[in-house]
Amino acid sequence: MTFVIGEACINCKYTDCVDPCPVDCFHEGPNTLVIDPDECIDCALCVDPCPVDAVFDEADLPEDQHHFIELNAELSLLWPVITDQKDPLSDADDWAGKEGKFELLERAAG
Ligand code: SF4
Ligand code: F3S
């Protein structure tokens, strides 16, 4: 079991989730974060701080976002760890709550 970042993070990247994590699970790409499933200790401390409810217990991930389980595992191997909160993307508030953002995910290392 692990926690997973889903579609709502894309183009927002508020990073409120980062500081509460006791084990530095978060990895940063150009326009989203992902969680390393091998590091996550299932503490759930990152869930409530996210302003767009992008973080899920793997078991609670909506059916249409199940591909994010593999995506978090894959991209956490490619992207650098982020350990401190930083400013969100400049147009984060415009993208908050929008659906259909999956195709906008940028894979190039952050
Ligand atoms: Fe880190 Fe806990 Fe969130 Fe896992 S559930 S990413 S260990 S804060
Ligand atoms: Fe993304 Fe929410 Fe964290 S928008 S960076 S999962 S606080």
Q: Does the reported pTM lie above 0.85?
A: yes
Quick check: 12 pLDDT over 50? yes
Residue 52: inside a domain: yes
59 within a domain of the structure (yes/no): yes
Assess if residue 102 is contained within a domain: no
Which structural domain range is residue 49 located in? Answer: 3-84
List C-alpha distances in Å: 100 to 2, 66, 91.
24, 14, 16
Number of domains in the chain: 1
Residue with tokens 């767009």, as numbered in its chain: 52
Q: Please give the pLDDT value at position 109.
A: 66
* Ligand 2 lining (C-beta closer than 6 Å): 5, 9, 12-17, 33, 49-50, 52, 54-55
Assigned domain for 45 exists = yes
How far apart, in whole angstroms, are the C-alpha atoms of residue 7 and residue 53?
A: 10
Grade residue 110 by pLDDT with cuts at 50, 70 and 90.
very low
Question: At 36, which CATH number?
Answer: 3.30.70.20
Ligand with smallest separation from the Cα of 54: 2
Q: Residue 108 falls within a domain, yes or no?
A: no
- Does 99 map to a domain? no
Tell me the average pLDDT of the chain.
96
Q: In what helix (H) or strand (E) does residue 33 lie, and over which residues does it extend?
A: strand 33-35
Distance CA 49, CA 52 (A): 9
Atom number of ligand 2 nearest to Cα 92:
4
**Residue 94 is assigned to a structural domain of this protein:** no
Mind listing the pLDDT tens digit for each residue in 15-41? 999 999 999 999 999 999 999 999 999
